[in-house]
Structure 1
Amino acid sequence: MTDDMAVEMNGGEAVTPWDELEWGPWPVTAVLSQTPPDPSLLGGDEGLPVTLTVIRGEGILQRPVFDPSLMSYSKAMRAGEPQFASPELAARWHEARCQALDDVIAAIAGSRWAGNLVLRGSILLKAWYGDAAREPGDLDFVVVPQTWLMTEPRTGRMLDDIAQASAAAAAEHGVVRIDAENAMRDEIWTYSRVPGMRLVLPWHAEGLPSGTVQLDFVFNERLPEEPEFTSVPARATDETGQRILAATPALSLAWKLLWLLSDRYPQGKDLYDAVLLAEAAPLPLGLLMRTLVAAEPEWAGRRFTPDALDELDIDEDELRKDYPEIADAVEPLRQRLIAALAPTFAESAALPAADGYTWRLGHLAPRIAQARELLQSEDVDAVLTYVSEESLGMTECIVVFREALGAERCSLEDAAATLLEFRLRGMSSESYYRSRFTTFIQRAVTELGENV
């Protein structure tokens, strides 16, 4: 460490040099330097995200926050919410950020892409629940239709258009300046969930530290419920705001529960949001199960019970960096969520028992329909390839494959045997894998006969 780096202070605390920040999560005491990292430290498997930016200014402190969506980097980092020594500066800066968010939302609502973007996340909760909701700092969208691939040329055109339209909307209001020319992009959720793209738009305001608006877009996400046009009020002015295509409160809650239950690193902010949503209105079990099964097919063989929320592994230190006011409330929030979901738990418990095969049929109906279409348009191998690539467990594979062929002409045992032979094709160590897959399939067949 050089002498200059050793004495660098930020908000009254010593900063951690960029090259000394190892794999995250990082200590709650770590402080980011306001000097941008050397370009050699950005990008690549061992580097920092290229969209990482830090706010610069006297009396401003930011901590490194672990961002699971950036796990394609060994240092999956974003800068945490800024902490200001001056309450007056903090208020002015947050007001400017609200204006920047308003400008971006207005740009999207008025763009040719408005029908392809479904808004979700914290900005909606702020619109629905006001002061009870946490402060939004970014925008999250699902790109529709589901068949739109992130790698298509129109993705780049859409992001370019949004950046330029946001700059134009900001110029019209004249409060902040959005710098479309220096917009940054990065891929997110590379190794999990569905693929996505992050767009970061720098903004500037007279007499204030600069900031950014972060927009996350995910592709190929199944929508278990149709979105609705929702009014998103302007945050910085008394203007009417925008009507924009958005997830419903019920779907928002179903997604929050999915992330809490399935993510490797569940986040405290999702727990907080889930409590607000669950306490506001009951969650229909059917919508929840469609959401869970669409992303995690093994839920097709389960009931939704309170013990699903027993062991949420929320990192309170990470939550404290952005939302210190709720970081010590993780366990009370979990208890509130369980209480608020009582009607959904009761709906699940009231369903009559059924064997594992019958129980899964309804939940797997969309995949069965897709498999039947493949059988009609192609052949059995196409169906076998489909069920093998759909992140289905062996139990669910057997159900989907058998139903596609027709349960009346394909026994459970025949379906299992066909799947076994397909999985063994081209494997050099066939005897080893035959024994292994046979065990998996026998276990799956047994499970299909057990009551749920």
Structure 2
Amino acid sequence: MSAHRAALDHVLTLVAESPFAEWLVLRGSMTMPAWVGDAARPPGDLDWMARPPALTPLDDLHPYPYLDRLAPVQQWPEAVHGAARNEIWEFEEFDTGGRPAHLPPEGLNWIPAAGLDSFDEELWDYEFTNLLSRNPRTLDGIQFDTESIDMRQDWDYADYEPGGENGRLRLELPWQSPTGEEGTVQVDLSFGEPMPDAPVCTAVPRAGGLPPLGLWTASAQLSLAWKLHWLAADQQTHGVSAMKDVYDAVLLAELDGMCLRPRLRRLALGADHSLLQSPSAPPHQQPSPRSPAPARQPGSLDPALAPRFAAPALPFTRLLEPSEIRRWRVSGTLPGVDDPASWLSRLAVAVTGLL
């Protein structure tokens, strides 16, 4: 097992054993071994989407206040009784004047609705630093330098993220092995990005014979839809796609039983967030009164109604046609992959039955 993989597994394990595991959804190369086994390429980084935590809304019409502690509604017995005499009282004997408050479970706090969806990059920097500070060393002796964690916000994702402007954070976690080898674990966090498919609980494999970790991840179907979307975005924006992404897309597309629901097909073809919610159609167009309606065969669709049922034109429809995929330009290499053209051909064949 390489030192880099051991460092990745260490951070993955820390997150899996923390409260973050309930509302971080893993995606990317770290999930590929769960879907395609040993054929997956070595993972390079950790890529998470943050989903809002499960919340129980407060009832604003409830007659009692929601407070973290009783003090704001408690009254001193001396004050209640007009300070006629000194009284011996304990904290638990404070009177609330008939206004019992709702306190959260021990160790928790009520959260105000304002700011729940806000993006606080400093908080995440602090939380990951704190997480590593408590366990900075792996069983193999790899040491993380928690004083040198680098944080960047809103790196360039070009047209990769359908769904609008989202908060993004990249953390670089430096490490050093006992032999002096140095490296970093890159952690990408995305906030507010829509998930067109529900996350699934996945047994994510670890190296070195360690048991897998149960984590929320993007489904294999959503992973493929994203891969196709990103590949087409690369071709449209830069005129070239990474071989590693082509490789991943082929392995996912060739999985037994792989299929994409309509929403995921629209995502792959470049639909924006509104089109991922429900299909849209162009406005109905009336035929011109100057030209007679063409004769139609029995059982055929009225031409006047055809525009109402036409699929919307999507940005990547042409780029993801099999004939176009075979002409894509590819950059980068992978061990054991000598002929990118054959992988593009495999992708073109697999996509034919999916989009």
Q: Which category describes the TM-score, using the shorter chain as reference length?
A: 0.5 to 0.7
Counterpart residue number, 1:270: 245
Q: CA deviation at 1:295?
A: 5.1
Counterpart residue number, 1:103: 10
User: SS of 1:238's equivalent?
Assistant: coil
1:293 alignment partner AA: A
Q: Which residue of the other structure, out of 240, 251, 264, is the alignment partner of 1:288?
A: 264
Tell me the distance in 2 between the aligned counterparts of 1:252 and 1:268: 16
Counterpart residue number, 1:246: 217
User: Structure 1 335/142 Cα, relative in aligned 2: closer, same or farther at 3 Å?
Assistant: same
Q: CA deviation at 1:329?
A: 2.7
Contact 1:232/1:241 (<8 A) preserved: yes
Matched, 1:259 2:230: yes
User: Structure 1 149/270 Cα, relative in aligned 2: closer, same or farther at 3 Å?
Assistant: farther
Q: CA deviation at 1:225?
A: 0.6
Counterpart residue number, 1:135: 42
Matched, 1:201 2:173: yes
2:354 alignment partner AA: T
Tell me the distance in 2 between the aligned counterparts of 1:245 and 1:207: 34
Deviation readout 1:3-61 (Å, 9 max, x if unpaired): xxxxxxxxxxxxxxxxxxxxxxxxxxxxxxxxxxxxxxxxxxxxxxxxxxxxxxxxxxx
Residues 353-392 of structure 1 mapped to structure 2, 5 A cutoff: none
Tell me the distance in 1 between the aligned counterparts of 2:158 and 2:352: 34
Deviation readout 1:354-412 (Å, 9 max, x if unpaired): xxxxxxxxxxxxxxxxxxxxxxxxxxxxxxxxxxxxxxxxxxxxxxxxxxxxxxxxxxx
Tell me the distance in 1 between the aligned counterparts of 2:318 and 2:259: 14
TM-align CA RMSD: 3.1
Gaps of 5+ in 2: 54-113, 281-311
Gaps of 5+ in 1: 1-93, 346-452
User: Structure 1 204/315 Cα, relative in aligned 2: closer, same or farther at 3 Å?
Assistant: farther
Q: CA deviation at 1:324?
A: 5.4
Counterpart residue number, 1:393: none
Greater helix content? 1
User: Structure 1 160/315 Cα, relative in aligned 2: closer, same or farther at 3 Å?
Assistant: farther
Counterpart residue number, 1:368: none
Q: CA deviation at 1:244?
A: 0.9
Tell me the distance in 2 between the aligned counterparts of 1:131 and 1:174: 23
Tell me the distance in 2 between the aligned counterparts of 1:307 and 1:241: 35
Tell me the distance in 1 between the aligned counterparts of 2:248 and 2:189: 20
Contact 1:203/1:211 (<8 A) preserved: yes
Q: CA deviation at 1:208?
A: 3.5
Deviation readout 1:283-313 (Å, 9 max, x if unpaired): 2241423424245959961386785354457
Q: Which of structures 1 and 2 has the larger relative contact order (alpha carbons within 8 angstroms, sep 6+)? A: 2
Counterpart residue number, 1:225: 197
Tell me the distance in 2 between the aligned counterparts of 1:173 and 1:204: 13
Q: Percent of counterpart pairs with the same letter?
A: 31
Contact 2:136/2:145 (<8 A) preserved: no
Contact 1:159/1:199 (<8 A) preserved: yes
Tell me the distance in 2 between the aligned counterparts of 1:307 and 1:199: 33
User: SS of 1:218's equivalent?
Assistant: strand
User: SS of 1:221's equivalent?
Assistant: coil
Counterpart residue number, 1:394: none
Q: CA deviation at 1:342?
A: 3.1
Q: Which residue of the other structure, out of 32, 39, 52, is the alignment partner of 1:145?
A: 52
Tell me the distance in 2 between the aligned counterparts of 1:150 and 1:179: 31
Would you say how many aligned residue pairs link Structure 1 and Structure 2?
A: 246
Counterpart residue number, 1:122: 29
User: SS of 1:199's equivalent?
Assistant: strand
User: SS of 2:203's equivalent?
Assistant: strand
Moved more, 282-291 or 205-214: 282-291
Contact 1:141/1:217 (<8 A) preserved: yes
Counterpart residue number, 1:339: 349
Residues 399-418 of structure 1 mapped to structure 2, 5 A cutoff: none
1:104 alignment partner AA: V
Tell me the distance in 2 between the aligned counterparts of 1:241 and 1:111: 16
Residues 169-180 of structure 1 mapped to structure 2, 5 A cutoff: 169-171=135-137, 173-180=139-146
User: SS of 1:211's equivalent?
Assistant: strand
Contact 1:184/1:201 (<8 A) preserved: yes
Tell me the distance in 1 between the aligned counterparts of 2:265 and 2:188: 25
Task: Work out which of the two has the higher radius of gyration on C-alpha atoms and give 1 or 2.
Answer: 2
Contact 2:142/2:175 (<8 A) preserved: yes
User: Structure 1 228/171 Cα, relative in aligned 2: closer, same or farther at 3 Å?
Assistant: same
Counterpart residue number, 1:60: none
Tell me the distance in 2 between the aligned counterparts of 1:269 and 1:172: 28
Q: CA deviation at 1:170?
A: 4.6
Tell me the distance in 2 between the aligned counterparts of 1:297 and 1:157: 33
User: SS of 1:113's equivalent?
Assistant: helix
Q: CA deviation at 1:202?
A: 0.6
